[in-house]
């Protein structure tokens, strides 16, 4: 034992140990580099898997769109639409960004393996996109959503095990210094400068785990003949959007989530006619007669209140207290409304060098109107559902504007039809990316841990991999022949 100990501590032994470690280090680094490259490459296969698992008939649906070109072309209509979707899938942010990637020969080679089409030039794509009827592109999007709903992909996310949460909101898409088309809205500043812009009203399927998926879009636009007294507005557009929703999803149980613009008689009538529930923000000053009745009925319905306290798991000194009050059966011009208030107080203490600072409080008041019954068992979930409306702005419009999709980019400076088509196709690309990112396996592989990469960094890796990897066709075929179970994060 002593001899063995002396041998381990000898200078010669230590030198041999260091030498072996130096020899092993390059091997370990090489293995790490290979593993890192493989991880980046797998993102490509993830996109392929997502498309073919959720939308195996996607390219056939594209081929149903009318051919709008008078001359024959080497690119079929499905190849053109696929290229336009790829602009969003790869987050190129512009046609020029798409063309830059097209210049890379390996990227084009891999593109064809994934989609089965050659990669057309961005100008070729644009020349066709501006001719396609935007209603057909909208129908393609709704066909894709319908297939997900038929397979009950979002069934577990329903409110009260019945209602799909549908958020309604408008957003500016693009603006110009000069008149873009007859349908443009316009506004003049105090300095006399006139801005022309296009706005869209969107209905999005919202889920607690982060999905924000466009079901239907309605453009807030002036008449094409230029004859009008007042410009189109969001409330008028909602009537048209409601007709689209009912026609596209006639039996889908919906609860409409909307902001303080929507508490008005026609909105209540539209929802009740379509057998939709709703939970909308209710602000001071809206519907004064309803507020008067709320104050009167609060004196009678004194039992309609409850309170919840939640503590942070990582800091027991921080907590959230929600105090609920509600009023049932408010009559407003023949419509029965239920009023709900949540007073939320957040208290937290931050530790600095093991010294706990003084407690800080923030309080906000949330008020909603709904046509669904409220009780102590569902009041908290009702407030949570009302608050989910923000996902149409955060996970929806904000992602499209700032997440690499280029929603506010001037995709079409002249054609209004092309502008609408680019926007809807952008939503299709966003849908596919969401189905990939929200997948449990993707989250586990790329987004777990404290130092996980951002989505922007992951997409940079994806583009890099498309430029240097040679995609294995055998692996693509294996994906097509393998049945998988797709689970999403909760």
- Write down the pLDDT at residue 226: 67
- The runs of H, that is alpha helices, within 71-228 are 77-89, 95-102, 105-115, 122-129, 134-150
Residue 367 sits at φ, ψ, to 5 deg, of: -130, 135
- Pick the closest to residue 44 from 377, 473, 334 (CA basis): 473
pLDDT digits (tens, 9 = 90+) for 255-311: 999 999 999 999 999 999 999 999 999 999 999 999 999 999 999 999 999 999 988
Percent of the chain with pLDDT over 90: 76
DSSP code string of 425-488:
HHHHHHHHHHHHHTBHHHHHHHS-STTPPPHHHHHHHHHHHHHH----HHHHHHHHH------B
pLDDT digits (tens, 9 = 90+) for 37-66: 888 899 999 999 999 999 999 999 999 999
Distance in Å from the first CA to the final CA of the chain: 57
The residue behind tokens 């209004």 is 416
Contacts of 253 (CB under 8 A, 6+ apart): 158, 162, 163, 164, 275, 276, 277
Q: With 90 as the cut, is the pLDDT of residue 318 above it? A: no
The residue behind tokens 């929603």 is 407
Across 112-121, 202-211, 349-358, 453-462, least confident range: 349-358
- Write down the pLDDT at residue 12: 67
- Pick the closest to residue 216 from 236, 199, 234, 241 (CA basis): 241
**Token pair belonging to 198:** 């296009």
Give bridge partners of residue 310 from the DSSP assignment. 320
Alpha carbon 466 to its chain centroid, in Å, reads 24
β pairing state of 185-188 and 164-176: unpaired
- Write down the pLDDT at residue 180: 86
Higher pLDDT, 312 or 444: 444
Average pLDDT over residues 80-93: 97
**Rounded Cα gap, residues 237 and 215, in angstroms:** 15
- Pick the closest to residue 86 from 107, 60, 65 (CA basis): 107
- Pick the closest to residue 403 from 374, 368, 429 (CA basis): 429
Q: Which helix (H) or strand (E) holds 389?
A: none
Q: With 60 as the cut, is the pLDDT of residue 181 above it? A: yes
Give bridge partners of residue 368 from the DSSP assignment. 281, 340
218, burial (CB in 10 Å: exposed 0-12, middle 13-18, buried 19+): buried
pLDDT digits (tens, 9 = 90+) for 208-235: 999 999 999 999 998 877 677 688 999 9
* 249 band by pLDDT with thresholds 50, 70 and 90: very high
**Rounded Cα gap, residues 294 and 339, in angstroms:** 7
Average pLDDT over residues 360-372: 93
Enter the DSSP assignment of 490.
-
Q: With 70 as the cut, is the pLDDT of residue 118 above it? A: yes
Give bridge partners of residue 175 from the DSSP assignment. 197
- Write down the pLDDT at residue 71: 87
- Write down the pLDDT at residue 349: 73
DSSP code string of 24-74:
HHHHHHHHHHHHHHHHHHHHHHHHHHHHHHH-TTHHHHHHTSPP--SS--S
Q: State the Rg of the chain over Cα.
A: 28
Instruction: List % helix, strand, coil for the chain (3-state, nearest 5).
Output: 45, 20, 30
Please tell me the number of Cα atoms within 13 Å of 122 on its side-chain side.
18
Alpha carbon 163 to its chain centroid, in Å, reads 19
- Pick the closest to residue 457 from 4, 20, 43, 66 (CA basis): 43
Torsion, Cα 426 431 432 436, to 10 degrees, reads 130
pLDDT digits (tens, 9 = 90+) for 101-115: 999 999 999 999 999
Do 141 and 202 form a contact (C-beta atoms < 8 A)?
no
pLDDT digits (tens, 9 = 90+) for 458-472: 999 999 999 999 999
**Rounded Cα gap, residues 443 and 309, in angstroms:** 30
- Write down the pLDDT at residue 190: 87
- Write down the pLDDT at residue 216: 97
Average pLDDT over residues 229-253: 94
**Rounded Cα gap, residues 99 and 350, in angstroms:** 50
Q: Which helix (H) or strand (E) holds 249?
A: none
Percent of the chain with pLDDT over 70: 90
Enter the DSSP assignment of 329.
E
Average pLDDT over residues 153-163: 95
Mean pLDDT of the chain: 91
**What is the number of other CB atoms lying within 10 angstroms of the CB of residue 83?**
26
- Write down the pLDDT at residue 82: 98
Q: With 80 as the cut, is the pLDDT of residue 433 above it? A: yes
Residue 63 sits at φ, ψ, to 5 deg, of: -70, -15
* Domains contained in the chain, CATH given: 32-130+439-481 (no CATH), 134-433 (3.90.350.10)
């Amino acid at each position: 034992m002593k001899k063995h100990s002396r041998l381990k501590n000898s200078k010669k032994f230590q030198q041999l140990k260091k030498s072996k470690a130096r020899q092993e280090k390059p091997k370990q680094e090489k293995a790490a580099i290979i593993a890192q490259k493989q991880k980046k490459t797998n993102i490509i296969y993830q996109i392929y898997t997502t498309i073919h698992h959720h939308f195996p008939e996607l390219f056939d649906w594209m081929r149903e769109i009318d051919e709008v070109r008078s001359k024959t072309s080497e690119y079929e209509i499905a190849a053109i639409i696929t290229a336009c979707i790829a602009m969003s899938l790869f987050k190129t942010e512009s046609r020029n960004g798409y063309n830059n990637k097209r210049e890379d020969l390996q990227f084009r080679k891999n593109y064809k393996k994934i989609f089965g089409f050659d990669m057309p030039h961005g100008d070729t794509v644009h020349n066709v996109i501006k001719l396609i009827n935007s209603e057909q592109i909208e129908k393609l999007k709704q066909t894709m959503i319908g297939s997900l709903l038929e397979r009950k992909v979002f069934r577990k996310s329903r409110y009260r095990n019945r209602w799909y949460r549908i958020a309604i909101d408008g957003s500016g898409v693009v603006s110009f210094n000069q008149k873009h088309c007859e349908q443009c809205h316009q506004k003049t500043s105090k300095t006399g400068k006139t801005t022309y812009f296009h706005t869209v009203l969107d209905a999005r399927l919202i889920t607690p785990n982060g999905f924000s998926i466009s079901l239907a879009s309605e453009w807030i636009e002036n008449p094409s003949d230029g004859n009008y007294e007042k410009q189109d507005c969001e409330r008028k557009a909602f009537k048209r959007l409601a007709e689209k929703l009912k026609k596209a999803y006639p039996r889908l149980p919906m609860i409409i989530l909307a902001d303080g613009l929507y508490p008005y008689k026609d909105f209540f009538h539209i929802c009740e006619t379509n057998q939709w529930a709703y939970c909308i923000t209710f602000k001071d000053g809206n519907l004064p007669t309803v507020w008067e009745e709320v104050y009167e009925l609060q004196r009678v319905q004194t039992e309609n209140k409850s309170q919840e306290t939640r503590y942070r798991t990582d800091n027991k000194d921080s907590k959230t207290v929600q105090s609920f009050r509600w009023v049932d059966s408010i009559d407003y011009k023949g419509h029965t409304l239920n009023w709900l208030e949540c007073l939320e107080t957040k208290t937290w203490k931050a530790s600095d060098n093991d010294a706990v600072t003084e407690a800080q409080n923030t309080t906000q008041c949330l008020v909603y109107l709904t046509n669904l019954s409220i009780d102590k068992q569902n009041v908290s979930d009702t407030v949570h559902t009302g608050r989910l409306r923000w996902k149409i702005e955060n996970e929806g419009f904000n992602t499209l504007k700032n997440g690499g999709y280029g929603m506010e980019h001037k995709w079409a400076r002249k054609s209004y039809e092309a502008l609408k088509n680019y926007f809807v196709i952008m939503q299709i690309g966003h849908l596919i990316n969401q189905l990939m990112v929200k997948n449990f396996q993707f989250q586990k592989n790329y987004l777990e841990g404290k130092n996980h990469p951002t989505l922007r960094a992951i997409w940079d890796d994806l583009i890099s991999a498309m430029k240097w990897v040679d995609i294995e066709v055998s692996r693509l075929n294996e994906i097509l022949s393998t049945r998988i179970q797709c689970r999403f994060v909760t």
